[in-house]
Chain A
């Protein structure tokens, strides 16, 4: 199935969860925050949050800024 990941189309298995997506991106354990369809998904819920075709996922982190 296809989702929108940080504004770009992204293909993944139909049974994916947020946790498996993060794992496949090499971001497990990194300091990131995630929004699915404009709602925050807390870290504690990543493993039990299934992804669906068309979901809009944002993965963000901290960068320098003033």
Chain B
């Protein structure tokens, strides 16, 4: 951040983060590419998934947590791939064990394979169980303001509506509903899913989102580390523009150079 801005850090469940860009670790070619992109993104919070260990095949296989050190980054386990509240809760408990008691999680309970749209009924149930079990729950949800509020009421520490479908790169398809969520929210709101390029991320931040979580937009760019750097700047630019409070839109022109003293006056 430049010296002219006086921003406060993104604070989620009492944890301050300097960067408002949160990144995933999926879809990269290898751990070197993952590590380079995450470095370039400047992110503090890095998401990962929990899966069955391949047994008996290659016990010396490299581990994601060797490439992305838990001492350097705040690791955010997700429940991607879960279609029921029960599976999502089990996954979070496994992740907490994996990370020695770390209790910040990203809850997502999906509806179907084609859309990966959140199943909000299962999500609400899982959120309630996890909060009661001592988890700090950042929750992926639809851009429905009523559901967002219900998740907040159940104790979620951040609400993360989709911009568009996961991995679609369509950007923010419904800024109007996102604005409704932002207007009412008393916890941080982060756009999670759908970002395609830097301007999408900047727009989310200009609207007043507290942060953006993305994976595919960086990992599926031809040059992931370069896109990660672009996203870092977009997030910072969008945030500063939001804090600066943009000029009003006008129906007609407003000259920037004074009329007085023109040579033809």
State the A residues within 8 Å of B (CB): 5-7, 25-27, 30-35, 38, 40, 42-43, 58-66
Closest A residue to B50 by beta carbon equals A60
Please name the residue on chain A nearest to B58 by beta carbon.
A26
Cβ A63 vs Cβ B48 within 8 A: yes
Task: Tell whether B241 is near chain A: CB-to-CB under 8 Å.
Answer: no
Contacts of A65 in B (CB 8 A): 24-26, 47-49, 78, 80, 215
B64 adjacent to A64 (CB under 8 Å): yes
- B contacts with A, residue count (CB < 8 A): 37
Q: In whole angstroms, what is the CA distance A46 to B75 when docked?
A: 24
Which 9 A-B pairs rank lowest in CB-CB distance, beginning with the nearest? A66-B24, A65-B49, A66-B215, A26-B59, A33-B97, A64-B25, A33-B98, A64-B26, A6-B52
Contact B56 A25 (CB under 8 A): yes
Cα(A61)–Cα(B52), bound, Å: 6
- Please tell me if the beta carbons of A62 and B65 are within 8 angstroms of each other in the complex: yes
Task: Give Cα distance in the complex from A38 to B84, angstroms.
Answer: 15
Q: A40-B97, A59-B53, A61-B64 are in contact. List 16 more A-B contacts (CB 8 A).
A: A26-B59, A27-B53, A30-B53, A31-B65, A31-B98, A33-B50, A42-B97, A60-B53, A62-B48, A62-B65, A62-B77, A63-B51, A64-B64, A66-B23, A66-B47, A66-B166
Shortest CB-to-CB span from B59 to chain A, Å, is 4
Q: Which residues of B contact A42 (CB under 8 A)?
A: 97
Partner of B78, one of A34, A38, A66: A66
Within the complex, the shortest CB–CB distance from A8 to chain B, in Å, comes to 8
Interface readout for B22-61 with A: 1 if CB under 8 Å, 0 if not? 0111111000001000000000000111111101100100
Question: Is there an interface contact between A30 and B25, defined as CB atoms closer than 8 Å?
Answer: no
Q: Report yes or no: B98 in contact with A60, Cβ–Cβ below 8 A.
A: yes
Given contacts A31-B98, A35-B90, A38-B90, is CB(A64)–CB(B49) below 8 Å?
yes
Provide the residues of chain B in CB contact with A58, threshold 8 Å: 52, 94
